[in-house]
């Protein structure tokens, strides 16, 4: 059985690494990794391959694309050639980035079944590019591997047959458990006097693509930095927009704010476990803070990962302003925050479950 695993952007590496490893344990499975080049900077790509101990990808596409549409067409054209050469039995895509949908679509045009890992998540907000990628990828997929019960319900509401849906847990947590080794949630929850910093990450278009929203974000950070230290690893998209609107210098000059480049996975997890609170709009970070039981404030109107709010340590803050965020962080400092619990199957064995379901299907094993 030959499987092509697709990676393209930062959050894909954590999801695909444990799957490629799990596939590779079986001599009857040939597991290939295709990197679409959607994120190609060393700090958004190479560092993750290295830290997650992934071999160099079997194929790396080179993209010149300026717009999302060009990116789709370049990925699909490049990926189609790989499909023609490799003739895989299955294409596995993860998450909700453009590479996920582009490769799912190219595979489905070539009549090759698609497995979608992290299927069924829905924010209900179609203005999010990721939501469109999620809906279309699921519609094209033969195997839908889901992380939380809400995703099963979403897929059933879209008339996906139950036999295609598998609640298997969260492969991202496989990577987290693998890399942190001896770390356990309990050891990560202590908020000591020394670790009273806010870890800030922000890159969703709705938060960083306009001058109005970036100015609002700077006002909040400036306000919070009067009371607490803020660590801010800045996503390239956010930095590009800060520069475009002439706001980068303003951010760098705020006292008590450390502006950092995008962090390696290990470095970021360490920053996360030492934080008093993580303020984010990232999907993966909402899940990782839930697993680590670290307070998380998500600056978004909706989340496609409701289990992180219902069971985990996440709070959606919307609308948000200086006062609301300060009040919430003050509550966290006083210990008035839910620790939450870890969702079912987020146990480090999700890749194993996925591979065993696919083996049964394709190899009758």
Task: Please check whether residue 286 is in contact with residue 304, taking contact to mean a CB–CB distance below 8 angstroms.
Answer: no
> Which helix (DSSP H) or strand (DSSP E) does residue 272 occupy?
helix 265-274
Task: Please check whether residue 11 is in contact with residue 304, taking contact to mean a CB–CB distance below 8 angstroms.
Answer: no
Angle between helices 283-292 and 10-24 (to 10 degrees): 60
Among the listed ranges 9-17, 63-71, 73-81, 213-221, the one in contact with ligand UDP (CB under 6 A) is 9-17
Considering only residues 145, 232, 265, 320, which one is a binding residue for ligand UDP as defined by CB under 6 A? 265
By beta-carbon proximity to ligand UDP, the closer residue of 222 and 308 is: 308
348 is a contact residue toward ligand UDP (CB under 6 A): no
**β-bridge partners, 198:** 230, 277
Residue 126 burial (CB count, 10 A):
10
CA angle 144, 173, 269 (to 5 degrees): 140
Considering only residues 4, 8, 11, 294, which one is a binding residue for ligand UDP as defined by CB under 6 A? 11
Among the listed ranges 186-194, 242-250, 262-270, 301-309, the one in contact with ligand UDP (CB under 6 A) is 262-270
Two tokens at 31? 């597991």
Determine the size of the site formed for ligand UDP (CB under 6 A).
15
78 is a contact residue toward ligand UDP (CB under 6 A): no
CB of 13 to ligand UDP, least distance (A): 8
313 is a contact residue toward ligand UDP (CB under 6 A): no
Task: Please check whether residue 115 is in contact with residue 104, taking contact to mean a CB–CB distance below 8 angstroms.
Answer: no
Among the listed ranges 10-18, 25-33, 102-110, 332-340, the one in contact with ligand UDP (CB under 6 A) is 10-18
Two tokens at 262? 């995008």
By beta-carbon proximity to ligand UDP, the closer residue of 10 and 349 is: 10
Active site residue 39: no
> Which residues bind to ligand UDP, rule: CB under 6 A?
10-11, 14, 201, 233, 262-263, 265, 268-269, 282-285, 288
């Amino acid at each position: 059985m030959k499987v092509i695993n697709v990676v393209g952007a930062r959050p894909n590496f954590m999801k695909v690494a444990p799957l490629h490893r799990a596939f590779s344990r079986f001599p009857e499975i040939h597991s290939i990794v295709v990197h679409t080049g959607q994120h190609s900077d060393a700090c958004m790509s190479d560092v993750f391959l290295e830290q997650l101990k992934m071999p160099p990808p079997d194929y790396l596409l080179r993209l010149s694309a300026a717009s999302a549409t060009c990116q789709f067409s370049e990925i699909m054209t490049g990926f189609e050639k790989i499909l023609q050469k490799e003739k895989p039995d299955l294409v596995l895509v993860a998450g909700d980035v453009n590479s996920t949908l582009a490769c799912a679509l190219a595979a489905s045009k070539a009549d090759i079944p698609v497995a979608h890992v992290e299927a069924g998540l829905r924010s209900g907000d179609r203005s999010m590019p990721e939501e469109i990628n999620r809906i279309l990828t699921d519609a094209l997929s033969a195997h839908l591997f889901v992380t939380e019960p809400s995703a099963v319900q979403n897929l059933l509401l879209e008339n996906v047959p139950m036999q295609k849906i598998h609640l298997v847990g969260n492969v991202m947590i496989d990577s987290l458990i693998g890399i942190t080794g001896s770390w356990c949630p309990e050891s990560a929850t202590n908020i000591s006097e020394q670790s009273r910093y806010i870890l800030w990450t922000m890159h969703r278009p709705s938060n960083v693509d306009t001058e109005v929203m970036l100015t609002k974000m700077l006002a909040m950070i400036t306000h919070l930095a009067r009371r607490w230290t803020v660590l801010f690893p800045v996503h390239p998209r956010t930095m590009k927009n800060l520069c475009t609107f002439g706001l980068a210098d303003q951010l760098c000059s705020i006292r008590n704010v450390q502006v950092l480049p995008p962090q390696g996975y290990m470095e970021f997890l360490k920053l996360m476990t030492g934080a008093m609170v993580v303020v984010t709009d990232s999907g993966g970070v909402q899940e990782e803070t839930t697993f680590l039981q670290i307070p998380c404030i998500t600056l978004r109107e909706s989340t496609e990962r409701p289990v992180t709010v219902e069971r985990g340590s996440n709070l959606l803050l919307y609308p948000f302003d200086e006062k609301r965020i300060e009040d919430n962080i003050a509550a966290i400092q006083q210990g008035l925050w839910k620790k939450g619990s870890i969702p079912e199957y987020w146990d480090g064995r999700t890749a194993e479950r996925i591979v065993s379901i696919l083996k049964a299907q394709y190899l009758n094993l």
